[in-house]
Amino acid sequence: MKSSAIFFVVSVHFLLNSGFYDMTIHSTLGIIWIGMRTILITCVPLFLVATGFLMNRKQLSAQYVLGIVPVIVSYLGISLLVWGTLSAVGKGSDFSTAINGIFDYSTDSYSWYVEIYLGLYLFIPLLNIIWNYKKEIKNYHLYIVFISSLLTFLPSLLNSFGKVIPDYLMLSLNLRVTIV
């Protein structure tokens, strides 16, 4: 699954940088590529599902929490490297904006994935406890999946047409609750 996701990521970025999104579709081949793009855009959800599956036995411990340190160090290094490179070619912001950008994940345009990963990584032991708590209760897992879907998917779908669900019910993919 992760190998497919890697191929899908490369393919989505190829389409992004090839001018595909600026084309007007006039042929069957173009419609086929739209279908392919619809499949390929599942790259991030595939990574998240695969990561979740591979971490389904993780339990909260000091060693587990410390496992996030290499990700944070890599994120800091890459963000500063990107900022430095952009600054060298005259496109970077000042240093204080770059440091603030590290904390709001805006210094590097791909930091949104790190933000999601960090939130899920820290949340996984809790999710495992919730999932394994009362397996004998009828429809327990169905309830968890339903509530999770309700809080993550439904608000973003319905509110894309205008505000339908109050903000205090909104729970985004990166696990932040928006409270008015």
DSSP 106-165: -SSTTHHHHHHHHHHHHHHHHHHHHHHS-TTSTTHHHHHHHHHHHHHHHHHHHTBTB--S
**Rg of the chain over CA atoms, in angstroms?**
20
| Segment 75-95, tens digit of pLDDT | 999 988 988 888 888 887 888
| Segment 7-61, tens digit of pLDDT | 998 998 898 888 888 888 888 888 888 888 889 988 888 887 887 788 888 888 9
The Cα–Cα gap between 6 and 155 comes to 29
Above 60 in pLDDT, residue 172? no
